[in-house]
Amino acid sequence: MSLKYSSRSLRITWLGLVTIMATFALTRAFRLLPAARKAIMLPSTDCAGARSSSSAASAIRSSSPTSLITRFMSQTSSPISLTDEQKAELELKIKVKGEVIRSMKEQGVSKDELSPHVSELLSLKALLNPPSASSKKGGGGHEEVQEKQKQRQQQQQQSKKEVEDPESDYITPRSENYSKWYNDIIRVCGLAETSPVRGCMVIKPWGMSIWDRIRTDLDARIQEHGAENAYFPLLIPKSFLTKEAEHVDGFAKECAVVTHHRLTVSGDGKGLIADPDAELEDPLIIRPTSETMIWSMFKKWIVSHRDLPLKVNQWANVMRWEMRTRPFLRTSEFLWQEGHTAHATAEGAIADSKDMLHQYADMCEKLLAIPVIKGAKSPSERFAGALETFTIEALMQNGWALQSGTSHFLGQSFGKAFDVTFQDADGQQQDVWGTSWGVSTRLIGALIMTHSDDAGLALPPRVAPVQVVVVPIPPRKNDEDGKVALDNALNKLVADLKGAGLRVKVDDRDYVRSGAKYFEWERKGVPLRIELGPRDVKDGVCVFKYRVGSEGKESVSLKDASAKATKGLDDVQEFLLESAKERLAAGINTMATYDQMKDALEKDEASEYDGPGLYLVPWKCDAANEEKIKEECKATIRCYPTDVNEAGMAEGKKCFYSGEDATHMALFGRAF
């Protein structure tokens, strides 16, 4: 029994080894091909970034993931001449890829899963021996035209293959291209997919389940906070935007405008057009956020001090017409919750916005195992219309920050813009103070970039759609008794696990081999896998394998399984949080001069640096200097962290940029 597991485990190790070798070879190959490397290092600036034939101007695009190779090939319009060293690298890579494929075949992975690897192998071979490699360069002769046609055909075929196989399971290593790794994780784990509409994504079931879980956890906190759910219209009269002067600047530039309420057949009868007879007198915009709509209702709902505080929240979709999008991090449409509160006093409003920020931070830690830094935004980074914007900033694995939730103290700006007043206890009319706060599907991006690795997603158990996957290993074909025994043990095990409140999935697909199942669920980030084979049943045990936090497999008595799983999953949750906390602590440089920060961030830009990415420095609040630093080294003030500023850490210090007296401790860094 134990021998069997070791052999299986050995095979996996071998697969891991060749994967590492392949990765290594790939990385080196690209070091040697600067043009190719450049093509790959180009940050994917939108949802369509991972696709083959995308044009920035086209509003609707086809969508298909593209392998590194295809991308490389499509970037290369003429045959390449390779040095001997480059050829040797390619040959090594081809050999290693061959090993990978053989090993995968041994593991029994399906044809569908193999096919991208085979495609890559063929592409590598084509790269080594391009059909035109022997033809002469330059000129415009018949041969070259033919060659180009051939190449185009080949590219089209490759492209079609990719379209037909969106399940390519290749994950770019983080060390090679963090941005591409991120996109690969999203594709390979089935979290989201590009849609036919520019900048909008389809959130697939695995991603949606994570969002639903975030929603459930946060919704309870929001109710506890005293806000009630409501729903406000998707469309907003455009005149509303103009009521709050800063707000219009912030949002008019990037909104979807509804101008007609009907389509009709076009004059030539060939298609549909917006019906000119159905033009709206006053266009409507799709909400980028709902302050204006909600304050227009608050005006009706707030009369007396007894109506305050008034707290509403909505779970909704919003739209901001982003030019550069990235799945979860920045998409034109996204899902979020937006809370809006009205108060009789400034103190009440500030306390409310701080309390929600605390809820967000606590949810990130407890549910998502993401430690965050709480702070206030600098004036130039505030929400359009707010007097103060509080934020939680998380550190991603690549050293960049991700703004993960914000809470705004709106002062009386919206109260005045929408003429919302209340009668106080003395009968006097007063202006109303406000807040708004929200988190979005962006949190899924934070989750990915906090815990996952080159093997795929790693999910904290509390937010995992499936906490335990059970993989039964079928007995020999004719072993009927064994089948019955396995079924019985399996049913009992699953009932126990579910009884302990765990989310369990049994993967009993008979057309996928066990190794492929392990590979798949590991990639999808399921925290615990339990294997159950005929011999295990006889021995009264099952085999635990955790996604992270502990090496190797563990044989566990069937009767202890649910208790051990519960404990083990708690440990995984703790492990992920502690690891992330350690990384956050190590990721903040508190001693840097401005030049040191600039130098490090320049090296980071060139992927030649892996030190701390965040800089906690004494700072004199100054929008012009902030802008200069952003231009010079792409770093922005993520926040003025609350704890160190409240402790007076900036006192007596000089600004690390201007040398003047510091007003704050500021956290600088690159951000998504």
Restricting to residues 288-317, which ones interact with a second copy according to CB under 8 A?
293, 296-297, 300-301, 303-304, 306, 312, 316-317
Strand order in the sheet with 333-343: 228-229, 310-319, 333-343, 433-440, 401-411, 388-395, 373-376, 636-641, 664-669, 614-619, 588-589
Q: Does 551 bind a second copy (CB under 8 A)?
A: no
The 115-154 contact track toward a second copy, x by CB under 8 A, reads: ----------------------------------------
| Cβ atoms of residues 97 and 22 within 8 Å | yes
DSSP tag of 47: G
Q: Which stretch binds a second copy (CB under 8 A): 174-182, 223-231, 399-407, 650-658?
A: 223-231
The 64-103 contact track toward a second copy, x by CB under 8 A, reads: ----------------------------------------
Dist. CA 92–CA 346, nearest whole Å: 67
Of 349, 360, 347, nearest in space to 309 by CA: 349
Q: Which stretch binds a second copy (CB under 8 A): 96-104, 150-158, 268-276, 618-626?
A: 268-276
Q: Does 335 bind a second copy (CB under 8 A)?
A: yes
Q: Does 502 bind a second copy (CB under 8 A)?
A: no
Q: Indicate the residue among 415 and 568 with the shorter CB distance to a second copy.
A: 415
Q: Indicate the residue among 194 and 398 with the shorter CB distance to a second copy.
A: 194
Residues 11-70 that bind a second copy (CB under 8 A): 58-60, 63
Return the number of other C-beta atoms located less than 10 Å from residue 407's C-beta.
29
| Cβ atoms of residues 387 and 413 within 8 Å | yes
Q: Are strands 433-440 and 421-423 parallel, antiparallel or unpaired?
A: unpaired
Q: Which stretch binds a second copy (CB under 8 A): 37-45, 83-91, 162-170, 583-591?
A: 162-170
| Cβ atoms of residues 627 and 671 within 8 Å | no
CB of 401 to a second copy, least distance (A): 26
Per-residue burial over 550-586, b if 16 or more Cβ lie within 10 Å, else e, is: eeebeebebeebbebbbebbeebbebbbebbeebbee
DSSP tag of 234: S
Q: Does 550 bind a second copy (CB under 8 A)?
A: no
Q: Which stretch binds a second copy (CB under 8 A): 235-243, 472-480, 589-597, 602-610?
A: 235-243
CB of 230 to a second copy, least distance (A): 5
CB of 192 to a second copy, least distance (A): 9
| Cβ atoms of residues 470 and 490 within 8 Å | yes
Tokens encoding 239: 């005149």
Q: Does 108 bind a second copy (CB under 8 A)?
A: no
Dist. CA 365–CA 577, nearest whole Å: 7
CB of 59 to a second copy, least distance (A): 5
Q: Which stretch binds a second copy (CB under 8 A): 32-40, 250-258, 561-569, 580-588?
A: 250-258
Dist. CA 149–CA 634, nearest whole Å: 43
Q: Is 295 helix (H, G, I), strand (E, B) or coil?
A: helix
Dist. CA 414–CA 386, nearest whole Å: 9
Q: Which stretch binds a second copy (CB under 8 A): 26-34, 281-289, 519-527, 653-661?
A: 281-289
Q: Indicate the residue among 211 and 594 with the shorter CB distance to a second copy.
A: 211
Hey, what amino acid is at 41?
M
Q: Indicate the residue among 294 and 665 with the shorter CB distance to a second copy.
A: 294
Among 101, 280, 455, 621, binds a second copy (CB under 8 A): 280
Of 220, 107, 213, 2, nearest in space to 522 by CA: 107
Among 97, 225, 238, 330, binds a second copy (CB under 8 A): 238
Burial class (CB in 10 A: 0-12, 13-18, 19+), 390: buried
CB of 671 to a second copy, least distance (A): 24
**Helix axes of 84-107 and 514-523: crossing angle, nearest 10 degrees:** 120
Among 197, 351, 588, 621, binds a second copy (CB under 8 A): 197
Tokens encoding 561: 């399984």
Q: Does 266 bind a second copy (CB under 8 A)?
A: no
CB of 165 to a second copy, least distance (A): 9
Q: Does 252 bind a second copy (CB under 8 A)?
A: yes
Q: Which residues contact 347 (CB under 8 A, 6 or more apart)?
A: none
DSSP tag of 331: -
Among 112, 479, 487, 661, binds a second copy (CB under 8 A): 112
Q: Indicate the residue among 162 and 626 with the shorter CB distance to a second copy.
A: 162
Dist. CA 431–CA 429, nearest whole Å: 7
Among 43, 131, 205, 226, binds a second copy (CB under 8 A): 205
End-to-end CA distance of the chain: 49
Q: Indicate the residue among 328 and 594 with the shorter CB distance to a second copy.
A: 328
Q: Does 232 bind a second copy (CB under 8 A)?
A: yes
Q: Does 160 bind a second copy (CB under 8 A)?
A: no
Residues 520-539 that bind a second copy (CB under 8 A): none
Q: Is 16 helix (H, G, I), strand (E, B) or coil?
A: helix
Q: Is 119 helix (H, G, I), strand (E, B) or coil?
A: helix
Judged by CB under 8 A, the number of residues near a second copy is 78
Q: Does 212 bind a second copy (CB under 8 A)?
A: yes
